[in-house]
Amino acid sequence: MATLQEKPASIRIRRIYEPPDGGYRVLVDRLWPRGVSKARAELDEWLKDLAPSNDLRKWFGHREDRWTGFQERYREELAANPEVPDFSRDCASRPDTVLLYGARSETENEAVVLRDYLLGLSWPGRAMTFKSSPPGAAR
């Protein structure tokens, strides 16, 4: 059996409205999602400072025509964010991190951009992999 150090880390994304299914659960929204109690969320962390800035969040407004611009701007914010390297190392040290978001879209939200950004970073001795279920699949 592989040790923790030999297993690749994974970063999954899920809507916070879905029932918890394990992993280290991290909310990456700047605002608390409507209709979700803190008890029901079963969070391990809420990292508001990794979420898009208020200005970027308001500009995007989950408009499909702004998705490409949102991704570019959010990646710029992440590149300048001093908390990203530590969080990336934390993700690499866990076997399963779940980035939670409240947006309706499963494909156009900040968790998707953050996951892809983190997976693009490399840290010595630890590989991270993408794990996700297709929308609507049993989890």
In a domain, 61, yes or no: yes
Is the predicted pLDDT of residue 64 greater than 70, yes or no?
yes
In a domain, 20, yes or no: yes
How much is the pLDDT for 92? 87
In a domain, 30, yes or no: yes
How much is the pLDDT for 45? 96
Q: What is the DSSP letter of 15?
A: E
Edge-to-edge, what's the strand order for the sheet holding 45-46? 45-46, 24-27, 97-101, 9-15, 128-130
How much is the pLDDT for 79? 95
Distance CA 64, CA 70 (A): 10
Structural domain that includes position 33: 11-130
In a domain, 2, yes or no: no
Domain count, the chain: 1
Distance CA 4, CA 27 (A): 24
In a domain, 76, yes or no: yes
Residue pLDDT, tens place only, 38-50 = 999 999 999 999 9
Instruction: Give the predicted TM-score (pTM) of the model.
Output: 0.80
Residue pLDDT, tens place only, 68-117 = 999 999 999 999 999 999 999 899 899 899 999 999 999 999 999 999 99
In a domain, 51, yes or no: yes
Q: What is the DSSP letter of 126?
A: B
